[in-house]
Structures are given as C-alpha cells and as structure tokens.
Amino acid sequence: MPATGKLNQRKLAPWLFLAPGLLMFMIYVIIPIFQSMWISFYDWDGLGEARWIGTANYVELVDDDAFYTSLKNNVIWLLLYMLAVPAGLMIAIFLNQTITGMRLYKSLFFFPFVISQVVVGLMFSWFYAPNFGLFYSLIEWLTGSGVAILADDRYVTYGIIAAGLWPQIAYVMILYLTGLNNVAPDQVEAARLDGAKGWRMLWYVILPQLRPATFIAVVVTLLGALRSFDLVSIMTAGGPFGSSRVLSYYMFEQALSEYGYRMGYGAAIAVVLFAIMMIFISGFIWKMWRDETER
Amino acid sequence: MVHLAKGALALMAALLLSTAASAQQRVLTFTTDNNDPAPKAAWEQLVADFEAENPDVDVQMNIMDREAYKTAIRNFLTTDPPDVANWYPANRMAPFVSAGLFMDISDVYAANDLTTQLASTLPIVTQDGKQWMVPYTYYQWGIYFNRTVYEQVGATVPTTWEEFLANCEKFKAAGIDCLTTGSSQLWPTAGIFDYLNLRTNGYEFHKALTNGEVAWTDDRVRATFAEWAKLVPYTTANHAAIDWQDAVPLIVQGKAANYVMGNFAVAAFKEGGMTNETLGFMPFPTINPDVPRAEEAPTDAVFIPAGAKNVDDAKKFMAYVARADVQTKLNAALGQLPVNAGSTVGDDPFLQAGFEMLSTTPGGIAQFFDRDAPAEMAKVGMEGFQEFMVRPENLDAILDRLEKARARVYQ
C-alpha cells in the first residue's frame, strides 16, 4: 500500500533527523539532570559508597547561612546584571551612525566580549588590588583611604558584577546593533513627519521594532547572571569568607573543590539552582510559544 | 631521562615517549604537583638518580600546577591512576584510603625497616593498622621577621606574647604592620589559629578540637580567640584580598614586621632580596607559660595509587624515596627537613633553627589545621578564621557556625 508507506515516511523522517540531536541532548542534558536529582538524596564523597539519606541534604540547606548568602548574591546578580540591557541599547544607538572609523569604534566596544571571562576577571582583580590597583588608588586619592573591594564583604559582589557587566554590555550592544539595522527607515521617516523626536521617537517607534532583540538580550543576560561562576572563581573564589558566593560556585565548592567532598549536598544546591532557572526558562518558552501561535 | 608534560600535553607526550623509551625499559609514571622551580629541580635530580640506580626503569614525571592538583587528584585516581603520586598524609589522605584508592604499602615498610626509620611520622601515614604513604619531607612553621625594622623601631625579638604585643605597638607607631598575611587562599589563617591555640591551650586540647571532641563554643576556644583579638588591629588591613606570596614583599620592603609562615617561604623572602642577616626566624611566642611548647610541622609524602600498573617498580621507588641518603639530598635541594631518622639536615640556618626547635619540642607536633581536621571542618574553620580577622565582632556567629559544622562532620 503506497499511501500508508508515504504516511509512515512522513511520520518517521523527522524523528530520524532529530535522533542524533535528541540522543546527545538525552545523554548530556536530560539524563544528568535526573542523575543530579538522584544524587541529591545521598551522602556521597564522590569516591566511596553512597548512603541514602532521603531529604536530609535539603533539610540542611534550609538551615545553611552560606546557602542564603549565595541565594542573596544570585538575586543581586540578577537585578544588577539587567543594567546591561539599557546600557547596551544606549551604546548601540550611540554607535549606530555613519562616521568614518565607526567600524573601529564598534570593534573597540565589542572587544571585552571577545576576550575570555578569565582575563576580564584578572584585569578587574588588578584594577581593585590594594596598594597598586587603579581603582584603589583613585579611591585613595579621592577619600584619603583606599578600599580593597575584593576583600570587603560589603562591596565584593558589586565589584564582581561590575566586572561581569563590562563584557555583557558589549554582548547586548551587538544584539541591538543588528536589531537597529532592521529598523524600517520609512517608519522613522513617517514618525519624523508627525513630529516625533528624541525620547518619544525611541520609545514609540524604535523600541517596538527592537522587541526581538530585547527579548534575546534579556534572556542571555538573565542566564548569564545565573551562570556567574567563572568571575567569582577567578576573582575571589567565593571569598572573603564566602561573602561573594553564588549558588553555582557554592555547588562547585561543596562537591568538587579542594575541601569539597559532598556530592550529595552539591547536587541538592544544583537542583535548587535548576528550579530557579526553570522559572525563567519556562517563562521564556511560554512567551515564545504564545508569540508563534498568535501569528 | 626525565620527561615533563603538563595538562593536556600529557597524553600526547606520553604517546610520543612510549615509542621513545627503549623496549627493555619498564615505564614508571609519576604524577606530582612540585611545579615551583626549586622543588621541581630537586625532584628531577631524584628521578635521575633513581634511574641511574635502576637503568631498566624509565620514570615519566608529569608535573601539574599545585592548586589545580588538589582537585585533579580525584579524577586521575579514579580514571587513569599513575604508578606513583604525591599527596598529604593524615586527614587529607583519609577519604582516598577509605575509598580504596591508595595501595597498602605496609610490606615496603616491613621490608625496609621503615617503621623505625620513619617512626616519627608513622601515626599520620597509618590508617586501619596499615601504612599507605612514604613521607619524604617536613618543615617547621613559625614567625619569619624583618630584622631591619626590628632595629628601626628598637624592638627586641620577643619570647612572650606580652613582649610581642608591646612590639606591635611600636611597629604601629612607626606605620609598620606588626603581622602580615595573605588570606585569600584561606590556609595561612589556619597557621595563625593553630599556633594561638597551641600556645593558649596546648597540644592535647588542639588535637581534641581538630578531632571534633571539643565544642567550638567552649570557653577555652574563646580564650584562643580573645588572644587573637589582641593581634587583629596590628594585622595587615587588606589581607583578604591577597595571596600569601603577595604579602612577602611587605616583609621584604619593611612595610610589615612579622609573618606566621612555613619554612618554604624562605625561598620567596630571599628571592625578594633578603639575606640570612636581614631575615629572622623565631618560634611563636609563649602565651600560657603552663602549656608545654608544641609546634606545627606539616609532612609531605608519596604513595602508590590502587590502580597502579607497574607496582613492583613503584614499590622500589617508595623504598628509594624513604632511604636516609636520598632524603638528605632531596631535602638539601628542597630547603626542608628530611623525615628519615638517619638523614642529616642541611646547614641552612633556618633549617637548623627549625630542626633544633622541632627536635626539642616537649608538647607535640601538629600537622596543620587542614590535615588534622577533616576536609569539611577545615574549610568551614578557615573561612571562620578569615572572617574573624576581618570582622572580630562576629565571633559568636562564627563559633556557632563552626559548632554546627562539627555536629555534622564528625557524626
């Protein structure tokens, strides 16, 4: 029966094409997620026998000051990292002109995103370093006494976020620059004829057309804030006394660092972080799905 | 022949070398974290000497970064173990031994009379009644100081805590940090705590504390912190932002006077331009005269991973590293103290001073906080020490946190 054969082919072909990707996704993403959840119910040092302890890891987490410090820092990261979106937009609009040498300026602004996060972290560590750091000297010159940002539990998280914002703003800027290329010139022209200028032009004419770019910028910035591991690791290793930890770093510290032999506890932290990310991710997916079905 | 390979190059190098080594030679792989210039040269010499004595063995040394090694060891022990590697004894080896990742080398100890030659360190390499590591070096901790600034402010080298603090007042008046340290890697704070606790409460109490038998909220622990509180105002302000190496120039340049450190720091001081005349060493001053003097001297050791392929030669290598003459030569190059009772100590004045101090210790010798206490307790503890040095007013919260950790870790 040729008809059913064709039908089978239609049904089967997409799955065959998807299979390699799905397989990889299963092995490297889906299965490890469930494995982590499973490990979080064990007391395991990563080397010897694992012991089932039920929800004890989670019970301990609820009563762990370090966990709340990390959670609080994650929230600070999320909020302040969002500054990258308006800042990136501002720079993008500023750079969206036709002047000779603009390509050079654009690439200079884009530069921090190209260099590795590790290098960014090191550069800012020196920038903040007591006694010889540029920032330290500046504060010393202004106020008379220097502040070692990375040694002070009150400022350390903000210091790291400032370092993280530098490349993140560049990233958002690029997203907006490509977005600005697609802004319809006739609409801008029409708005101009209607007398729109400055903020009103930006708010009612340009920004609505940049919505796809804004969406992507918000998503990558949110996820970037939640993944903020490398800078914390490079600049402070969570210190001083754990005050700059974020959840991802705390998880690493408990499970895999020099003194960390608590796979179960680390996995429990990972599950909590995953749950937080899931809130945002499902929100985005829902929005994308809604946008597509509306069309 | 010594082959060096690092990180990702290791595999490639190993592939190349396996063809280079002659067919008769048996390969012994040795993974180590001795990547600083002096220790690296010392180990290369030892390997060369071993190969000269055992021409049928080709030792392939794989040197890793010291800090990275501390986390990498878990991976390579479970996936692709070398024939020999180095690590720290006592509580640092305990999780690996319990997990069956170390090879029992009691037979090497028995065959080479090591139980008597290495008697001083036998307790810390023994677990479940068996020996697991061969210690090759140890070094004293104490206070290293800049003699020039002592003369500058007219201070004399103190023997008691009161004298030490009185000196601090003089240094402060001269704008010099009395005590410096770099605590961003946490462990230097543990050296200060260990000594304050050993001097205030003595070795037996310190041992009980690190074994989890005493509460951190105990009044005797508080007494230790009360002494520490006197020192905090005289300590380098931004220690939490710097590594221990970054604090070395402060001593060299005379911006700070004293540094509680291990003897390995001498090389760094001298590199900075200090000499035997300007650099001084003293034992940590007496706080409670009723407590017998105890010292801190961490030991480093080598071991055979359970998955080693060339066990016979690895055991030969263990016996070789344990030998008195080998340890003499190795430690002369390392600038540290040999463990073997039959070895001789190098004639460096700091080594001699350390050896003198340790061999006359009546109270007992502690390893180091992170080896005497289990890993989790060590981590929480050192973080608490750092917090205390920055925010002494948080003491109650810190001790409560440590006590909570104790209740969990030692159960």
Domain ranges, ordered by start, for chain B: 9-136+300-354, 141-296+374-409
Query: 3-class SS at B131?
Result: strand
Residue A174 Cα to chain centre, angstroms? 16
A218 and A281 share a domain? yes
Residues A83, A16, single domain; the answer is no
* A57 pLDDT tier (thresholds 50, 70, 90): very high
Task: Please indicate, yes or no, whether residues A151 and A235 belong to a single structural domain of this protein.
Answer: yes
Instruction: Say if A35 falls within a structural domain.
Output: no
For position A2, what pLDDT does the model report? Answer: 52
What is d(CA B222, CA B403) in angstroms, rounded to the nearest whole number? 12
Question: Could you tell me the residue range of the domain that residue A272 belongs to?
Answer: 40-294
Option in A130, A152, A259 nearest B242 (CB): A130
Same domain? For A134 and A272 the reply is: yes
pLDDT at A4: 60
Instruction: Give B13's pLDDT tier (boundaries 50, 70, 90).
Output: very low
Q: How far is CA B172 from CA B35, B165, B176, B239, B342, in A?
A: 37, 10, 5, 16, 46
The fraction of chain A above a pLDDT of 90, given in percent, is 42
Distance CA B46, CA B320 (A): 9
Contact B241 A128 (CB under 8 A): yes
A292 — contact with chain B (CB < 8 Å)?
no
- Right CATH for B141-296+374-409 from 3.40.630.10, 3.40.50.720, 1.10.10.10, 3.40.190.10: 3.40.190.10
Nearest to B241 among A46, A151, A259 (CB): A151
Res B279: pLDDT: 93
Higher pLDDT, B222 or B374: B222
Vertex A253 angle, CA B75 and A224, to 5°: 105
Question: Distance between CA A204 and CA B61 in Å, rounded?
Answer: 67
Three-state secondary structure call for residue B177: strand
Residue B364: strand pairing partners: B294
Mean pLDDT value of segment B247-264: 93
Contact list in B for residue A148 (CB cut-off 8 A) is 237-238, 240-241
Please check the confidence at residue B15 and state whether its pLDDT lies above 50.
Answer: no
Q: Which residues of B touch A130 (CB under 8 A)?
A: 237-238, 241-242
**A45 shares its domain with A21:** no
Tell me whether B384 touches chain A (CB under 8 Å). yes
For the cut 50, the answer to whether the pLDDT of residue B5 exceeds it is: no
Asked whether the predicted pLDDT for residue B18 surpasses 60, the reply is: no
Mean pLDDT score across all residues of chain B: 89
* pLDDT one-digit tens code per residue, A60-116: 999 888 999 999 999 999 999 999 999 999 999 888 887 888 888 888 888 888 888
Q: Is residue A20 part of a domain?
A: yes
In single-letter form, the type of residue at position A163 comes to A
Please enumerate in sequence order all residues whose Cβ is within 8 A of that of B337, keeping only pairs 6 or more positions apart, or say none. Answer: B137, B138, B139, B140, B263, B297, B331, B345, B351, B354, B355, B358
How many Cα atoms within 13 Å fall on the side-chain side of residue A209?
17
**Does one domain contain both A14 and A109?**
no
User: What is the pLDDT confidence band of residue B105, given thresholds at 50, 70 and 90?
Assistant: very high
- Is the pLDDT assigned to residue B4 strictly greater than 70? no
Give the residue-averaged pLDDT of B23-40. Answer: 85
Is B256 touching A (CB cutoff 8 A)? no
Which band of pLDDT confidence, cut at 50, 70 and 90, is reported for residue B103? Answer: very high
Task: Give the type of residue at B255.
Answer: K
Q: For the domain B9-136+300-354, what is the CATH code?
A: 3.40.190.10
Three-state SS at A29: helix
B2 has a pLDDT exceeding 50: no
Residues 6+ apart with CB under 8 A from B172: B178, B233, B234
pLDDT number for residue B295? 92
For B251-258, what is the mean pLDDT?
94
Paired tokens of B125: 């390499």
Integer Rg of chain A from CA: 24
Does A146 lie in the same domain as A21? Answer: no
What is this structure's pTM? 0.84
CA angle B273, B45, B68 (to 5 degrees): 70
Rounded to two decimals, the ipTM of the complex is: 0.82
Q: Which residues of A touch B390 (CB under 8 A)?
A: 151, 153, 240-241
Same domain, A22 and A92: no
Mean pLDDT of chain A: 88
**Is B184 close to A239, i.e. CB distance below 8 A?**
yes
Q: Looking at the 3D structure of chain A, how many domains does it have? A: 2
Q: Are residues A188 and A210 located together in one domain of the fold?
A: yes
Is the pLDDT at A288 greater than 90, yes or no?
Answer: no
For the stretch A177-216, pLDDT in tens is 989 888 888 888 888 888 878 888 888 888 888 888 999 9
Helices (H), chain A: 2-25, 31-39, 56-62, 65-81, 84-95, 102-114, 117-128, 134-143, 156-181, 185-193, 198-200, 207-209, 211-226, 230-235, 247-256, 263-294
> pLDDT per residue over B333-358, tens digit each?
888 999 998 898 888 899 899 998 98
Of B240, B375, B376, the CB nearest to A240: B240
Q: What pLDDT score was predicted for residue A295?
A: 62
Measured in angstroms, the CA of B5 and the nearest CA of chain A are apart by 23
Same domain, A19 and A58: no
Whether B87 and A60 have beta carbons less than 8 Å apart is answered as no
DSSP SS3 for B259: strand
Digit-coded pLDDT (tens) for A168-185: 999 999 999 989 888 888
Q: Cα–Cα–Cα angle for B209, B212, B217, nearest 5°?
A: 65
pLDDT at B119: 86
Length of chain A: 295
- Average pLDDT (B179-201) is 93
What type of residue sits at position B197? Answer: N
Residue of B220 and B185 predicted with greater confidence = B220
More confident residue, A182 or B321: B321
Any CB–CB contact under 8 A between B96 and chain A?
yes
Q: Tell whether A241 is within 8 A of chain B (Cβ).
A: yes
Q: Establish if A82 belongs to a structural domain.
A: yes
% residues pLDDT > 70 (chain B): 94
Distance from the Cα of B386 to chain A's closest Cα (Å) equals: 6
Residues A16 and A96 grouped into a single domain:
no
Residue-level pLDDT at B14: 47
Between A and B, how many residue pairs show a Cβ–Cβ distance under 8 A?
Answer: 83
Q: Identify the residue whose tokens are 């490349």.
A: A167
CATH code, domain carrying A168: 1.10.3720.10
pLDDT (tens digit per residue) in B72-85? 898 899 889 999 99
Joined tokens for residue A250: 């705390």
Region B243-263: what's the mean pLDDT?
Answer: 92
How far apart are alpha carbons B389 and B383 in whole angstroms?
A: 10
A115 and A201 part of one domain: yes
Neighbours of A137 (CB within 10 A): 14
